Amino acid sequence: MQDNKETSQIFNKFYEVRERTLKIVEPLSVEDMVIQCGYDASPMRWHLAHTTWFFEKFLLRKFVQDYTVFDQTFDYLFNSYYETIGRYFPKKLRGTQSRPIVDRILEYRMKVENDISSHIGDLDGKEALSILELGINHEEQHQELMLMDIKYNFFNNPYFPSYNDAKPARASKAGKMIYRKHLPGLFEVGYSGKGFSFDNETPRHKVWLDSFEIGDRLVTNGEYLEFIEDGGYQNPTYWLSDGLEISRKNNWKAPLYWVENENGWKIFTLSGLQDLNPDEPVSHVSFYEADAYATWAGKRLPREEEWEVAFSGTRKSTYSNFMDSWYLRPLPVAENDTGSRQALGDLWEWTKSPYVPYPGSSPLPGSVGEYNHKFMANQMVLRGGSCVTPADHIRITYRNFFQPDKRWEFSGIRLAGDA
């Protein structure tokens, strides 16, 4: 049996996270919950069911003797990608199904939560608690995905509906970009400590870094607009070959969610269509766009190790913009913020680093070993968290990853260079 205080904290967080998921879907109608407007997005009903299935499949069915499964068909319907478990419903077709209905899925969520509460005595061992904690963090990842998917689904509505009421953003000017220089040396990166981390953050290891410089804030809409107006999307000089081909194929002319009309550029947010704020960080750009902009600006993207070393002492502050603030959009950098300068929150920051395992890293045992390591190919690392990331979910060592052409995540640009 684990320490009672530690066990209590983990279970309390479980209930808090489950409640937050329901808060996210509270403004939605049943119709909003079943649609899927693109391959990357998933219906809300699927997110609600899948995160519940994770707890039932990997926790309750393993550690509770003679456990009664809610519905055996859910193994097929709500398994995401766990090949070692069996077949799963095709991702691209998740939005074609209306059954099980949303009420049935909410009943499923309640049943699994009650079962976990009823079997705390079976779940307070070290192995069970580690799975419970993984499931909690898994659901927090899906909370961010849910807000990403709501935004994408609503953007595909020609009337640009609003998910939440816009909160007044701080009236702040970005100011001139300042580059902070870092001397060469041997550094340690990766997670070490007693708290939770994903397997892709460990083990902590040494890296040699040559001298480098890194921008003190994110690139803004206004700065990115200069790239657009200078023909940045048309000039192959700035682009990686694969990125240029994808940009041309998809007719990219601006970041995702930028809308041009007779009055200039607007930007779609979770609060509907808004005026484009030139001091707000540019968001929803692919790795290819971020890399092309950096080349145009005479800089480059930081390596993930450079990013971690540069912000290793950074802590969340009153200026950190996470989901918890419910702005749900990136904010201009606070002029009097001398701390994180958008390193934590606002937007995930593309790095120049491919998503590969750390030296000595190994996947978790069993089917949950498919959680991270199987995706370590053809993806790029992002750091820092975003305005739709739960604040208690992020760490400086956290490694997010997406394929380089993806744009529906809340991604932005921080510039770096060789010093």
Please indicate, yes or no, whether residues 189 and 142 belong to a single structural domain of this protein. no
Query: pLDDT value at position 2?
Result: 53
Please indicate, yes or no, whether residues 144 and 210 belong to a single structural domain of this protein. no
> Is residue 309 within a helix (H) or strand (E), and if so which, with residue range?
helix 304-310
The CATH number that applies at residue 73 is 1.20.120
Q: How many CB atoms lie within 10 A of CB 288?
A: 25
Please indicate, yes or no, whether residues 217 and 351 belong to a single structural domain of this protein. yes
Burial of 133 (0-12, 13-18, 19+ CB in 10 A): middle
Please indicate, yes or no, whether residues 337 and 258 belong to a single structural domain of this protein. yes
Please indicate, yes or no, whether residues 282 and 325 belong to a single structural domain of this protein. yes
Alpha helices in 56-125 (DSSP H): 61-63, 74-77, 102-118
Please indicate, yes or no, whether residues 149 and 202 belong to a single structural domain of this protein. no
Range of the domain at 53: 4-155
In a domain, 168, yes or no: no
Q: What is the pLDDT of residues 402-411, one digit of tens each?
A: 999 999 999 9
In a domain, 194, yes or no: yes
With contact defined as beta carbons under 8 Å apart, do 266 and 158 qualify? no
Please indicate, yes or no, whether residues 347 and 213 belong to a single structural domain of this protein. yes
When pLDDT is averaged across residues 276-292 and rounded to a whole number, the result is 98
For residue 269, is pLDDT > 60? yes
For residue 58, is pLDDT > 60? yes
Please indicate, yes or no, whether residues 120 and 189 belong to a single structural domain of this protein. no
Please indicate, yes or no, whether residues 146 and 196 belong to a single structural domain of this protein. no
Q: How many CB atoms lie within 10 A of CB 104?
A: 13
Residues in the chain: 419
The CATH number that applies at residue 406 is 3.90.1580.10
Number of structural domains in the chain: 2
For the chain, what is the mean pLDDT?
95
For residue 251, is pLDDT > 60? yes
* 182: CB partners within 8 A, 6+ apart: 209, 211, 212, 213, 214, 306, 309, 310, 419
Band of pLDDT at residue 1, cut at 50, 70 and 90: very low
In a domain, 127, yes or no: yes
Nearest to 198 by CA among 140, 149, 143: 140
Q: What is the pLDDT of residues 309-335, one digit of tens each?
A: 999 988 888 899 999 999 999 999 998
Query: pLDDT value at position 3?
Result: 62
Q: Which of 155, 189, 221 is the last residue of a domain?
A: 155
In a domain, 43, yes or no: yes
Query: pLDDT value at position 323?
Result: 97
Please indicate, yes or no, whether residues 149 and 193 belong to a single structural domain of this protein. no
In a domain, 160, yes or no: no
Cα torsion through 382, 290, 153, 253, rounded to 10: -170
Whole-angstrom distance, CA of residue 222 vs CA of residue 382:
22
In a domain, 137, yes or no: yes
Whole-angstrom distance, CA of residue 373 vs CA of residue 318:
34
For residue 190, is pLDDT > 80? yes
β-pairing, 380-383 vs 348-354, is antiparallel
For residue 370, is pLDDT > 80? no
In a domain, 268, yes or no: yes
Residue 39, CB-side half-sphere exposure with 13 Å CA sphere: 3
With contact defined as beta carbons under 8 Å apart, do 348 and 290 qualify? no
Reading the block at residue 284, the tokens are: 């929803």
Please indicate, yes or no, whether residues 146 and 83 belong to a single structural domain of this protein. yes
Please indicate, yes or no, whether residues 247 and 373 belong to a single structural domain of this protein. yes
In a domain, 162, yes or no: no
